[in-house]
Chain A
Amino acid sequence: MAWSLSSRASQLGPPAAWSLVRGVLPFLACVAVAILAQVILKPFLITTLGWDFAAKMIVDVGINIVLAVSLTLVNGFTGQFSIGHAAFMAVGGYTAAAIVYYGSYRIAGNPDLAGGVLSSMLVGREAPWFTPHDLLFLVAMLAGGVVAALCGYLVGLPSLRLKGDYLAIVTLGFGEIVRVLIQSQTGDVLYDPEEIAQTPAWKLAGSLGGSLGFSGLPFYTSFFWVYLLVLVTLLLAWRIKNSSYGRALISIREDEIASEAMGVDTTRFKIRAFVLSAFLAGCAGALFAHTVGVQLNAAELGFVKSFDIIIMVVLGGLGSISGAVIAAIILTILPEALRGVAEYRMVAYAVALIVMMLVRPKGLLGVHEVWERAAWDWLLGASKRKGAGR
């Protein structure tokens, strides 16, 4: 029985035009929803209700969702234990910050926020719908993602030879190297327009504030940018998970030898997972850098931040997108709600992680989504059925 995938596929496939609509429309819907969040939800929350803090939390939640879901691609799907995710955030954040900050100087002579309605969480600001500075921010965010993706490629390389704890140590080391390099090897932030105009770009790239942090960044990050990235990330992760590529990634985690034997080029897929994950984390870092109330500082993007993201992925379920989202929401809000005892957060996380590894090593939902029955099998007594096997 000769079976050809391509010939059968062309019989079963939908018309190209229709699939184009179905394929691209959700991305446009992401843009639309993000715009609505910015022009309706933002003024409603801040102006009508006066819930500034809630608005700030929603931004933080969004950024953490992107970080958790992007890490899910590597730790969850592919099963490569990376504990240096915050470093990609730092790389993306600093890259974007440098472009936005010095770019604004070159364009306008000052670093002030000059975005349109879609940028920034500030209210009562007269602004057109769209300005060239919005474009600058978008380019900066994507550039941050690309530079982080390059780093992801470099970190992905050792993952071809290292497994488990050893890979974890490499990623941890990478994270610390990034943090230390930014803190110790970058010069002060420049703020004299003339000096900036005369300094070559490569030198500006080294003036990132060092251990003092990158101060004076304009607050471009808004509901629009955050939720655009959140929705696109979710759509991306969801569609990858439900394609042959997602199955290939998860099969690496389940059994690398069998995966390779079934024709999955495990090397290539691990690298792909690292690159894509780092790209998204880099974009999230760019948003983080330009958030109201944040002073970008590499010291905050070290191991502790990486650990915050890991705990979201592990609690949610290694490979569960919805699990990562829920965990990101809870673990962003909880420390705020328990402000008084927030310093004990790391203790609680560590205990939670240990208990989790002992009781349910694959996370609360495992590889499944919240709405899938299999996610709850372990609670609903699947052990009975497991006993049927040998």
Chain B
Amino acid sequence: MTLKASAPILEVRNVSKTFGGLKAVTDFALELHKGDLQGLIGPNGAGKTTCFNLLTGVYRPDAGVGERIVLDGQSLVGLRPSRIAAQGLSRTFQNIRLFGELSVLDNVKLACHVRVTYSMLGGVLRTAGCLGQEAAITERAMELLRLFDLHDRAAEQGRHLPYGAQRRLEIARALATSPKVLLLDEPAAGMNPQEKVELAKLIRRVRDEFDVTILLIEHDMGLVMDICERITVLDYGRTIASGTPAHVQADPRVIQAYLGAVDDEPAPAAGGTHA
């Protein structure tokens, strides 16, 4: 699947971000093809989430270095996040950002807003278009909740869900925007082993059923190595390795980034997060 000759669905090149004197991300580059399931890993503070924020328009990449973010032929550089979401790039958040007071169902329904074509006046007058779209949105949202095993709690407030369910709801909500590319930021964080196994299955299923391309940030190496076909490794904002899980695992620079240099002091203090 990764060897497809067709144009990439998401192409990122020369994307850098500097905060004051700190180079958070340097020359980030990425190529995702339709149906890819790629991992983005690296020690804490490597710039993974910053990359997501750059792709989704929360931050603007440093200008004038030939920065390029192209989604399915459309440049995303300089667009505001809502436009980027409308173009078909959706995400979840590392620190869950649900609409806590809204019901679980409404959380997902809200995400369908990007596809809504009836106007505010249409909503006030309840035109046929408005009613039809609202019915379609509800139907679609319930379908998604069923897929994520959340349909029993559709009426509950988002903030009342247990942690693992909140993570799943984030993914369901991101999918409701009908994305071409889905960015998952640590979807397994805080989940127990059983939940992680189910999540892995779910992510694969989402990729296959929704015809969506997935880029995944995750610290759980078991999960990443298990489901990702390709992995990009970041350290101090730079891409230090990219390739298949086996290739990446064997790369000395990756081992060094995670466990410290081989010629370091024997004390294991240099390591960041481990697998």
Contact = CB atoms under 8 A, between A and B. Distances in A.
A266 B90 CA distance: 16
Interface string B40-60: 000000000000000010100
A262 interface: yes
Interface of A: 1-3, 5-6, 8-16, 18-20, 22-24, 235-236, 239-240, 243-248, 250-251, 254-255, 257-267, 272, 319, 362, 366-367, 374, 377, 382, 385-386, 388-390
Interface stretch (B23-31, B124-132, B218-226): B124-132
A264 B123 contact: no
Given A258-B99, A262-B173, A272-B120, A23 B110 contact: no
Contacts of B163: 389-390
A9 B129 CA distance: 7
A248 B114 CA distance: 10
B114 A14 contact: no
Nearest to A362: B101
A12 B139 contact: yes
Given A9-B136, A257-B97, A247 B106 contact: yes
Contacts of A389: 159-163, 166
Contacts of B211: 1-2
A8 B58 contact: no
Contacts of A261: 56, 58, 81-82, 85, 90-91, 93, 97
Count chain B CB atoms within 10 A of each CB in A3, A246, A260 and give the residue with the most: A3
B161 to A, nearest CB: 6
B142 to A, nearest CB: 13
B134 interface: yes
Contact of B178 (A3, A239, A251, A255): A3
Contact of A243 (B123, B140, B178): B123
A264 B131 contact: no
B101 A23 contact: no
B113 A264 contact: yes
Nearest to B82: A265
A258 B102 contact: no
A340 B135 CA distance: 54
B209 A19 contact: no
A145 to B, nearest CB: 15
B133 interface: yes
B162 A260 contact: no
- Closest 6 CB pairs between A and B? A13-B132, A263-B114, A243-B123, A263-B85, A9-B132, A258-B97
Interface in B202-254: 209-211
Contact of B127 (A12, A19, A251, A265): A19
A19 B97 contact: no
A386 B101 CA distance: 13
B137 interface: yes
Contacts of A243: 120, 123-124, 130, 134
A236 B132 contact: no
B227 to A, nearest CB: 20
A186 B86 CA distance: 49
B194 interface: no
A390 B118 CA distance: 38
B102 A251 contact: yes
B98 interface: yes
25 contacts: A9-B133, A13-B135, A14-B132, A19-B131, A23-B127, A24-B125, A239-B126, A240-B123, A243-B123, A244-B134, A251-B110, A257-B58, A257-B93, A258-B93, A258-B99, A259-B99, A261-B56, A261-B85, A261-B97, A265-B83, A266-B82, A367-B102, A374-B103, A386-B159, A389-B162
